[in-house]
Amino acid sequence: MDGPAQLAHTTLYRPTRAQLLVLPLAAAALLLLFQNTFGYLYWVWHREEYSHGFLIPLVSAYLLWRRRERFRQAQFRSSWIGVAVAAAGVAIYLVGMVASITTVDTYALVIVLMGAALALMGWQAFRIALVPLALLFLMNPIPNFFYFNLSSELQLLSSELGVAFMRLFGVSVFLEGNVIDLGSYQLQVAEACSGLRYLFPLMTLGVIVAYLFNGRTWMRWCLFLSTVPITVLMNSLRIGVIGILVDRFGIAQAQGFLHWFEGWVVFLVCFATLMLEAWALLRVAGDKRPLVELLALERSPPESGAPAVRARELGSPAAAVLVILLLAVVPARALPKRIEIRPARTDFTEFPLQMGAWRGQRGHLEAVYLDTLKLDDYILADFVQAGSAQAAASGAAPVNLYVAYYASQRTGESAHSPRSCLPGGGWRILELTEREVAGVTNNGVPLRVNRAIVQQGAARQLVYYWFQERGRDITSEYLVKWYLLRDALLRNRSDGALVRLITPLQGNEPAAAADSRLAQFSSSVLPALRDYLPN
């Protein structure tokens, strides 16, 4: 049967008055329920790595509009599974609202939208809208915990590849972690240069291109997955070019407009590389059609004949979702905003530099690190055992104490794990385990720490660190997030801290001797920390 004849026998569906009433009511309920979420997203989209978020809802809406004829021909069969999905999204939102944990509500918004669509359409018709709706997840920020870990890994990889590129052009360069030493100048590969500012937008473009690509499924997956290596390689190339320009023409090449312009050039080159890959995939598969044709959006079929038109029925699941949304508006709008409890504590400016047999000298973090860490208070000091004019002169090993305190972690600001920060400083982790510190207790329970041996060149260090969160000593970063949510809900608190102790392994000193030194220091410093880290 040819196209026109087939269309003449196609049944088209039109919305009923009930549906025309339900849809604006549901939209109004969503706006009221997620009012603060829309404001938060607008703020997040002003960050460079998420600036593509402004376009995502528009692209999603356009892709849905382009498929309007398929929606008109699809018979909706309401689904109770969609009701369950929407209800789960509302529950996630309310939990996040009560706990005042940001980012959670942005994902809840997309879950509710997808659940409502599934409840209204049923699975068969929902498949038409699945990808455009799922695209909305890409407008959301990822949790800072994952962001910082991913950023640190990309910084290291970009630094190594960028330095390799510089050396190809004869630039004498030394790499130590994320610091690129050119002799006269040093470049710090910070979060802004990690590649995330290109990765998220390019991944979004990869999803859109893969969706529009009228090729085989494996080709679509190749296009999407390749956005990660393309971004890393091109960002490394950018760092390499900046290093070469700085070496030839001075530090001004890494600052201001030129740095910003180089970033945009890299993004455009990444996109062009993605298009070139799509063309190459076609040729490998023996497809000679032009790329423009394969990326063309589907067109509405020519209208011919008079298809039958039937009214759509509004199923009970769709009505149930509307009721859930309307009921959820009441607690979301009526509950007063919780004022977070921030327990009284003493500032680290008063932290003692004499504790038992230990004497300390205070240090300070540079502004570039404070801007990244966004902590509320901290102590950084080197301690040696007393009797110690003598001990220091004889080269007694010091213990470095660093404590980063956050009065609130609800907005996503939290301690950066040494597991990702130490490699950024050029330290290679040789060993990482968990252990109880023999003979040392904190808050009445044995102290459990993450224990790492790290090396940089010939220098070795022993590191203890743990997260002290509202009376708990936690070694797992994932448990930190669980207790953060739990305590935000039940105790209305989200304060917490990272405690890190470092001591050098001098010469051929066995690790057991350094363990003993950190254990002795821990037993002295933990009582002193009680006034500064509230339980």
Spatial contact of 499 and 532, defined as CB atoms under 8 Å apart: no
Q: Last residue of a domain, which of 262, 294, 326?
A: 294
Query: Of the given ranges (255-259, 334-338, 363-367), which has the lowest mean pLDDT?
Result: 255-259
* Domain hosting residue 63, numbered range: 3-137+302-334
For residue 421, pLDDT over 90 is answered with: no
Which one of 8-17, 35-44, 328-337 scores highest in mean pLDDT?
35-44
Q: Which of 159-168, 215-224, 399-408, 412-421 has the highest mean pLDDT?
A: 399-408
Average pLDDT over residues 467-478: 89
Lowest mean pLDDT among 36-40, 104-108, 410-414: 410-414
- 286 and 353 both lie in a single domain: no
Question: Model confidence over 267-301: pLDDT tens digits?
Answer: 778 888 888 888 888 888 777 777 666 666 555 55
Counting the structural domains of the chain, the total is 3
Angle at Cα 492 formed by Cα 489 and Cα 495, nearest 5°? 110
pLDDT value for 4: 42
281 and 373 together in one domain: no
Placement of tokens 């990309």 in the chain: 154
Q: Are residues 275 and 319 in the same domain?
A: no
Alpha-carbon gap, residue 535 to 302, rounded angstroms? 70
Looking at residue 177, what is its pLDDT? 62
pLDDT band at 252 (very low <50, low <70, confident <90, very high): low
Cα–Cα distances (Å) from 304 to 3, 4, 6, 8, 307, in that order, read 9, 6, 9, 6, 8
Among 204-218, 300-314, 472-486, the range with the most confident prediction by mean pLDDT is 472-486
Q: Is residue 380 part of a domain?
A: yes
Contact predicate 508/469, CB 8 Å: no
Does a structural domain hold residue 534?
Answer: no
Based on the domain organization, do 417 and 508 belong to the same domain?
A: yes
* Four-residue CA torsion sign, 304, 306, 307, 311: positive
Does residue 263 or residue 232 have the better pLDDT? 232
Within this chain, do residues 418 and 489 fall inside the same structural domain, yes or no?
yes
Report the chain's mean pLDDT, rounded to a whole number. Answer: 80
Say whether both 70 and 153 belong to one domain: no
Instruction: Tell whether 358 is covered by a domain.
Output: yes
Q: What DSSP assignment string belongs to 84-132?
A: HHHHHHHHHHHHHHHHT-SSHHHHHHHHHHHHHHHHHH-HHHHHHHHHH
Nearest to 177 by CA among 364, 428, 373: 428
| Statement: residue 257 has pLDDT above 60 | no
Which amino acid does the sequence have at 273?
T
Given a contact cutoff of 8 angstroms between Cβ atoms, the answer to whether 426 and 177 are in contact is yes
Whether residue 281 lies inside any domain: the answer is yes
Decide if 340 is inside a domain.
no
Check whether residue 27 and residue 103 sit in a common domain: yes
Residue 3 pLDDT:
41
Cα–chain-centroid distance for residue 350?
35
Q: What is residue 195's three-state secondary structure?
A: coil
Residue 185 has pLDDT above 80, yes or no: no
Nearest one of 324, 325, 391, 403 to 357, comparing CA atoms? 391
> 405 with 533: CB under 8 angstroms?
yes
Scanning 9-103, the segments in alpha helix (DSSP H) are: 17-33, 35-44, 56-66, 68-73, 80-99
3-state SS class at 402: strand
Q: Are residues 180 and 37 in the same domain?
A: no
pLDDT at 187 over 70: no
Model confidence band, residue 1 (pLDDT cutoffs 50, 70, 90) = very low
pLDDT of 51 > 80? The answer is yes
pLDDT digits (tens, 9 = 90+) for 210-240: 887 777 888 888 888 888 888 788 878 877 7
Torsion of CA 123, 129, 132, 137, to 10 degrees: -30
Residue 159 is assigned to a structural domain of this protein: yes
Tokens read off for 268:
């455009």
Residue 115's pLDDT band, with cuts at 50, 70 and 90, is: very high
What is d(CA 348, CA 399) in angstroms, rounded to the nearest whole number?
18
Measured CA to CA, the distance from residue 200 to residue 203 in angstroms comes to 5
Residue 535 belongs to a domain: no
| Same domain for 250 and 276 | yes
In a domain, 339, yes or no: no
Per-residue pLDDT at 497: 92
Q: Residue 2: its pLDDT value, please?
A: 41
Query: Which residue among 311, 334, 357 closes a domain?
Result: 334
Last residue of a domain, one of 312, 334, 356: 334
194/158 Cα distance (integer angstroms): 7
Amino acid identity at 370: L
162 and 81 together in one domain: no
Nearest to 129 by CA among 86, 195, 71: 71
Q: Provide the CA 377 distance to its chain's centre, in angstroms.
A: 24
CA 136 – CA 54 distance, rounded (Å): 11
pLDDT tens across 69-113, in order? 888 887 788 889 999 999 999 999 988 877 767 788 899 999 999
Element (H, E) at 449: strand 445-456
* CA pair distance 290, 337, nearest whole angstrom: 57
pTM above 0.75, yes or no: no
pLDDT of residue 468: 92
Domain identity same for 462 and 412:
yes
CA distance linking residue 499 with residue 463, whole number of Å: 11
Tell me which residue has tokens 């473009």. Answer: 205
Q: Are residues 369 and 509 in the same domain?
A: yes
